Amino acid sequence: MSTESRYETVIGLEIHTQLATRSKIFCGCPNRFGSPPNTQICPVCAAFPGVLPVINKAVLDMAIMTGLALQGEIRTLNEFSRKNYFYPDLPAGYQISQFELPIVEHGFLMIEPEGGARKRIGITRAHMEVDAGKNLHEGIVGASWVDLNRTGTPLLEIVTEPDLRSAAETGAFLKKLRGLVRHLGVCDGNMEEGSFRCDANVSVRRRGETRLGTRAEIKNLNSIRNVMRAIDYEVERQIDLIEAGEKVIQETRLWDANQNHTRTMRGKEEAHDYRYFPEPDLPPVVLTVERIEAIRKRMPELPDEKLIRFQKDYGLGEYDAGVLTADREMADYFEAAVMAARPAEAKSVANWVTVELLGRLNREGMELGQSPVVAEALGKLTRMIHEGIISGKIAKTVFGHMWDGAGDPARIVEEKGLVQVSDQGAIEAEVDRILAAHPDKIAQYRSGKVQLLGFFVGEIMKAMRGKANPGVVNGLLKSKLDG
Amino acid sequence: MSKSLIQSKNHMSITEETIRHVATLARLDISPGEIQTYTGQLSRILGLMEQLRAIPTEGIAPMSHAVALTLPEREDVAVNPDRREALLANAPDSEEGCFRVPKIIE
Amino acid sequence: MDAPIPTLAQAAQALAARETSSVELTRACLSRIERLDPTLNAFITVDAEGALRSAEQADQARSRGEGGALTGIPLAIKDLFCTEGLRTTCASRMLERFVPPYESTVTARLRAAGAVILGKTNMDEFAMGSSNETSYFGPVRNPWDPARTPGGSSGGSAAAVAAGLCVAAIGTDTGGSIRQPAAMTGITGLKPTYGRVSRFGMIAFASSLDQAGPMTRDLRDAAMLLQVMAGHDPLDSTSITTPPPDYLAALERPVRDWRIGLPEEYFGAGLHPEVRAAIDGAIALYRELGATIVPISLPYTQHAIPTYYIIAPAEASSNLARYDGIRFGHRCDQPKDLKDLYARTRAEGFGAEVKRRIMLGTYVLSSGYYDAYYRKAQRVRRLIAEDFARAFRDHDLSVILTPTAPESAFPLDEKKEDPVSMYLSDIFTINVNLAGLPAVSLPCGFDFHGMPIGFQLIGRPLDEAAILTAGHAYQQASDWHNARPGNLP
C-alpha cells in the first residue's frame, strides 16, 4: 500500500459568489467591475459616519433562487449580523454578513466526477454578505492604496459539508456549481476576475479514522485548475508532515500558482475574534412562502431536471442529453430547433446539433452564441430531411450554405435546385439505365457480393446529382436485383 | 469555552492580561497606566452586570431591535454620481484617487 | 440686556405677522451666543454666515407668502447630525476637522421646512456621558449655575435652549441624553418612539437605542418640531412607516379621566427627597386635572443599568470601528505599520470615556463571554420591554409618570472620575430606550440650590400624542417651564 493510499483526503469549500445585481447590496452604487478607483462609492458603502444600510431586493431574490436550486431550506426568518475585524479594505470595521440565522441551510448538489459515480455533496449553508474593497500593493513604494469600488458588492457565500474526497471531485463540484449559478443568472462565474471565489479547507486522515484531521484553509485560488493543483500540493504536504512525525497546524495558507505551492499567510497571524452580533441597523428578514414559491416558479429549469426530461421527452441517450444540457444556452438552442422541426425528430436534431453544429463551431473556434446558423433554421433543415424534401447528404450541403450566411434552408434548396427527386418513374428510368450499363456487376451481386448495392446507389445518386430519394432508390434497386 | 467555566469565572476580577487582549481586539494603544485604570474600572462596571445572572431567562427570545419591524427592501436600481473627490476630501492621506495606508504585508 | 428669545410658537407667530424678521431673530440669537457662550460653551461650531444666509432666504420666502411653521426659526443642532459642508465633530478629537459631504435626514427635513441652523452644539464625546464632561471641546456649563453640569449627552443643546441662545434645539437620546439634560436645565425634551425619527446621517452611538428628538421651551414647541422631524425615511431600515398624526391637534385634548401609572420602583431610596417633593407636586396637579393616578410595578427596572451598559457599549464598539484614520478623521503621525496606524490613531482620537466603552463593548462581545453578557442582556431587555407593555395593557394606562433623574444638576467634576456613579444617573431614563418607547421630560420645580427638577412621561409605542397631551395639560396649569435662569451675565 502506498503512503498516499493509506490516507484519506477531506475537503470542504467556501465559495463566494458575487451576485449579478445592478446595484450594490446596501446602497445604490453600481455593481460594476473595472472602473477607476473609488469612483463607484458613496458615503454608505465607504462607511462614513452616520450612514445606514438598506438592502437590495434583488439580493434576497437571488439568494432564495440559488438556495432552491441547491435543494436547500429557505429560512423564512433570517437575520444579518456584524462580523467585526479591522482591515483597510473593510471601511466600517465590520462586515455585514449572516451568522446564526442564514437564509439557506441543508442543501446539496449532485456531482458526476469523471470516471466516478454520482455523488451527493452537502451544502451546509448559504448566506448573504458584503464584499470588501481592494488593497493595492503592486508598484507602490512604501504604502498601500485602498480602492473601495468593490465594497458593498453582494456576495452569497456557499459553504459545503466536508464531503469532497479528492481534487477531481472538487473540480467536478466547482464546475457543476459554477454552471448552476450561471444557469440561474445570479453570477457570471468568472474566477479570474474574482466574481466566483473559492477557499478550500483541506485535511487528511488515516483511512478508517472517523475524526477529521487538522485543516488548512487555502486562499487565492483563481481557477478550478488552481484549486485542484493546490489541493494536490496541500495533501502531499500534510501527509509528508504526518509521516515525518510532525503536526499539521490549523492556519490560512495562500496558493502561489507561480511557485506551485501553498505558503503561510503572514500579517494575519493574530487570533481572530469576530465578535458577531445581530446587525442593529437591519431588522430581521421575514420571507413569505408566497414569495419563495413565486421565485421557484420563475426559476429556470435546473440542469439536472433538464437532463432527465431530455432523455424522457426526446428519447435521447444520456450522453447526448448531457452534452445538450451542459449549459442553458445549448439546451435552449436545441429546444428551439426541435420546435421548428417535430418532437419525433428530436433525436435527429440532437445529432445535427452535437455533430454538425458543434463540430463546425469547434473547428472555427467559435461559441454557440456566435453561430451563423440559428436554431429555427437548423430545425427546419431537419424537418426537410424527414419530409423527404432533401436527403441527409444534400442537407449537409445546405448546412454549408447556411453557415456561409445564406439563411433559410428552404430557400437555399429551392434556389440551388436541390429538391430531392422522389418520383418513382424518374428514378426507375435512371435505375434501369445504370443496371443496363453494368451487367457484370449484377451477376457478381446475385452471386453473393451484396455490398455492390452501395455501388449502384452511388452511381444513381451521381447521375441524379444526389437529389434522388435514397429510400426510393434503395427500394427499386432491391426489387430489381433480388426480384 | 464551556458554559460551566464561564459561570465559575469571577468577572469581578478581570485581569490585566484580558485588558491587553481586549485593547488589541479594539485596536487601542494603551499605556501600562491605562491598563491598570481600565482593569479596575472595567472590573467594577462588570460587577454591576453580575445581578443579571440570577434572572431566569430560559425561553425568552433575545431582543435585538427596539421595535418589531421586518426588513424593508430597496429596488435594484443603480445611481452613479462619481463622488470620488468629495469622498477623498476628508482623507488624511490619499494618492491617485486612493486612500493611502502604510504598506500592508500579506 | 437684549430682548428675551421667544418660544418657537411665539416666534412663528411673530414671523407670520411680520412683526419680526428671521434675520432679526437670528441676529439676536447670534449676539446672545457671542455674549454668553464663552461662559456656557454650548456650541462647538457657530455658523453665523450660513445662518444669516438662510434667515435672508426665509424672510424672502415669507415675503412671497411662502413657508411653513419653521420658516426662519433659528435652531441649534447637536453636533452629531451630519451637515453637508458644515463641520460635524461628535465632540471628538477624532472628527475635529470632519466636514460631511452629505446631510442627515433630520437636518434636511428641518432645512426643507425653512429652519435656520445657527450652529452645532457641544455634547459628550460620541454622546457617551451624562454630564457633558467627556467633550473634547470642554464641558458645557449649566445656565442656572455655571459651576454645575447641564447634564448630557445633549448638554449643549439643553444649555442653548435654557439660556436662550436659540429658539429650540435638536438632541439625541440613547439612554436619556435628551431627557436628563432637559430636566437639569429646566426645559422640555422629548425622545420619540425608536424609529419614529430617521437616524440617517446621525452619527451612531448605539444603533438599537439612538433616537433624535426636540429640545424646547415647552410641549407646543416640541410638537411643532416633531411634526417636521417625524416620518418614514427609506434611507433608514429601522424607520417606522406609519404616518405621524397631527401632533398639534393632540395638545388640545383634556386629560380628565386619563389613567396615569406610577411605578413604585422609580420612587425608591435612590431618589433625592427634593426631587421626590417636586414630582409629588406634579402628581397632585394631575389629580386636580381629573386624571386617575394608578400605582403600578415595573419589576425589571433595577436591571436596566447593567442591561444597557452591556448592549450600548457592545453596539458602540462596532459602530466606532470605522474611525481608523483612513478615510476621514484623525490619523496619528508617521504610523510605522498598519497596526500602529490603527492603535495610535484610535488611542489619540478618542477620549477616556469612549475608550472605556469600546473596551467594555469589545469585552462583552468577545469569544466566551457573548452568551453570558450580550445575549443575556438582550433577553433581559425583552423582559424590561414586556414590563411596560404589561403595565400599559393591564392597567389601561395612557402614560406612565416618573422622575427624569434621581437628582438635579450636580457640580462639574463630581462624578467625572467615577464611571459607575455616572452610569447610575441614567437609571430612570434608559429603560425607555431599551423598550423603544416615547418619553418626555418637563420641568416641575426647583431644588434648594435653585436647580431645575424634571419629571418624565412615558407613552405607549408610537403614542407621542399621549405624552404631548399630558405634558401640555400640565404646562397649561403650571408655570415652571416659563422660568428662565436669572443670573446670566
A54 to chain C, any CB pair closer than 8 A? The answer is yes
Active site residue C153: yes
Tell me the pLDDT band of B10, cut-offs 50, 70 and 90.
very low
Give the 3-state secondary structure of residue A144: strand
Q: How many CB atoms lie within 10 A of CB A294?
A: 13
Q: Give the number of A-B residue pairs with CB atoms closer than 8 Å.
A: 130
> For the residues A206-228, what does the mean pLDDT come to?
90
| Nine cell digits for residue C435 | 423598550
Give the 3-state secondary structure of residue C464: helix
pLDDT at A219 over 80: yes
| A92 to C322: CB separation less than 8 angstroms, yes or no | yes
What are the structural domain ranges in chain A? 4-292, 301-415, 424-482
Nearest to B76 among A22, A48, A88 (CB): A22
**Chain C residues with beta carbon closer than 8 angstroms to that of A43:** 100-102
Res B2: pLDDT: 35
Question: In Å, how far from its chain's centre is CA B24?
Answer: 11
Mutate to test the interface with B, among C363, C366, C374, C431 (most CBs of B within 10 A): C363
Pairing of strands C43-46, A134-136: unpaired
Question: In Å, how far from its chain's centre is CA C449?
Answer: 24
Is residue B42 in some structural domain? yes
Residue A386: its H or E element: helix A375-386
- DSSP symbols for A458-469: HHHHHHTTT-B-
User: Exposure of B4 by Cβ count < 10 A (0-12 exposed, 13-18 middle, 19+ buried)?
Assistant: exposed
> For the residues A274-290, what does the mean pLDDT come to?
97
Enumerate the H helices of A37-150 as residue ranges: 57-69
C247: closest CA among C117, C69, C456?
C69
Mutate to test the interface with A, among C318, C336, C354, C434 (most CBs of A within 10 A): C318
User: Exposure of B58 by Cβ count < 10 A (0-12 exposed, 13-18 middle, 19+ buried)?
Assistant: exposed
CATH number of the domain enclosing B16 = 1.10.20
Q: Give residues 76 to 95 of B whose Cβ lies within 8 Å of C.
A: 83, 86-87, 89-93
Calculate how close chain C gets to B7, using CA atoms only, in Å: 8
Calculate how close chain A gets to B33, using CA atoms only, in Å: 24
| Nine cell digits for residue A311 | 432523455
Give the 3-state secondary structure of residue C116: strand
**Chain A residues with beta carbon closer than 8 angstroms to that of B91:** none
**Chain A residues with beta carbon closer than 8 angstroms to that of B95:** 143, 145
For C323, the closest chain B residue by CA position comes to B27
Query: How many Å from the N-terminal Cα to the C-terminal Cα in chain B?
Result: 30
Asked whether the ipTM of the predicted complex exceeds the cut of 0.90, the reply is: yes
Distance, in Å, from the CA atom of C386 to the CA atom of C468, rounded to the nearest integer, reads 23
User: Cβ neighbours of residue B51 under 8 Å, at least 6 residues apart?
Assistant: C302, C303, C306
Stronger pLDDT, A57 or A257, i.e. the higher one: A57
Residue C42: its H or E element: none
Calculate how close chain C gets to B1, using CA atoms only, in Å: 5
| Nine cell digits for residue C108 | 434636511
Distance, in Å, from the CA atom of A60 to the CA atom of B73, rounded to the nearest integer, reads 9
Tell me the pLDDT band of A266, cut-offs 50, 70 and 90.
low
Distance, in Å, from the CA atom of A66 to the CA atom of A75, rounded to the nearest integer, reads 13
**Chain A residues with beta carbon closer than 8 angstroms to that of B89:** none
- The pLDDT tens digits for A384-426 are 888 877 778 888 888 888 888 877 888 887 777 777 777 777 8
Enumerate the H helices of C46-127 as residue ranges: 48-63, 105-112
Per-residue burial over C464-485, b = 16 or more CB atoms within 10 Å of its CB, e = otherwise: bbbbbbbbbbbbeebebbeeeb
Active site residue C177: yes
Full strand arrangement of the beta sheet holding A196-206: A73-74, A104-111, A119-130, A154-160, A7-18, A196-206, A216-221, A251-256, A261-264
Q: How many CB atoms lie within 10 A of CB C396?
A: 11
Nearest to C321 among A54, A84, A273 (CB): A84
Is residue B106 in some structural domain? no
Domain A424-482: top CATH class: mainly alpha
Active site residue C78: yes
pLDDT at A1 over 60: no
> For the residues A423-446, what does the mean pLDDT come to?
86
Nearest to A54 among B72, B97, B102 (CB): B72
Residues of chain C with pLDDT under 50: 1
Type of residue at A69? A
Give the 3-state secondary structure of residue C157: helix
**Chain B residues with beta carbon closer than 8 angstroms to that of C347:** 28-30
Q: How far is CA C47 from CA A447, C79, C115, C118, C267, in A?
A: 116, 12, 14, 6, 43
Residues of B with CB under 8 A from a CB of A: 24-25, 27, 62, 64-65, 68-80, 82-84, 87-88, 95-106
Res B3: pLDDT: 35
Name the active-site residue from C92, C131, C135, C153. C153
Res B8: pLDDT: 37
Residue C164: CA atoms inside 13 Å, Cβ hemisphere, count? Answer: 22
**φ/ψ (deg, to 5) at A56:** -85, 125
- The pLDDT tens digits for C419-466 are 888 888 889 999 999 999 999 999 999 999 999 999 999 999 999 999
B57 to chain C, any CB pair closer than 8 A? The answer is yes
Total tally of structural domains belonging to chain B: 1
Distance, in Å, from the CA atom of C170 to the CA atom of C75, rounded to the nearest integer, reads 8
Type of residue at C182? A
Residue C451 contacts residue C145 (beta carbons within 8 Å): yes
Residue C400: its H or E element: strand C399-403
Res A463: pLDDT: 81
**Chain B residues with beta carbon closer than 8 angstroms to that of C362:** 22, 25-26
**Structural domain for B11, as ranges:** 1-54
Distance, in Å, from the CA atom of C149 to the CA atom of C187, rounded to the nearest integer, reads 14
Res B4: pLDDT: 34
| A49 to C207: CB separation less than 8 angstroms, yes or no | no
| A91 to C90: CB separation less than 8 angstroms, yes or no | no
Q: How far is CA A45 from CA A53, A94, C88, in A?
A: 8, 12, 20
| B48 to C309: CB separation less than 8 angstroms, yes or no | yes
**Chain B residues with beta carbon closer than 8 angstroms to that of A140:** 103
Res A395: pLDDT: 84
Nearest to A135 among B74, B82, B104 (CB): B104
C277 to chain A, any CB pair closer than 8 A? The answer is no
Tell me the pLDDT band of B1, cut-offs 50, 70 and 90.
very low
- The pLDDT tens digits for A316-328 are 888 888 888 877 7
Full strand arrangement of the beta sheet holding C399-403: C43-46, C116-121, C74-78, C168-173, C211-216, C188-191, C439-446, C452-459, C399-403, C259-263, C292-296
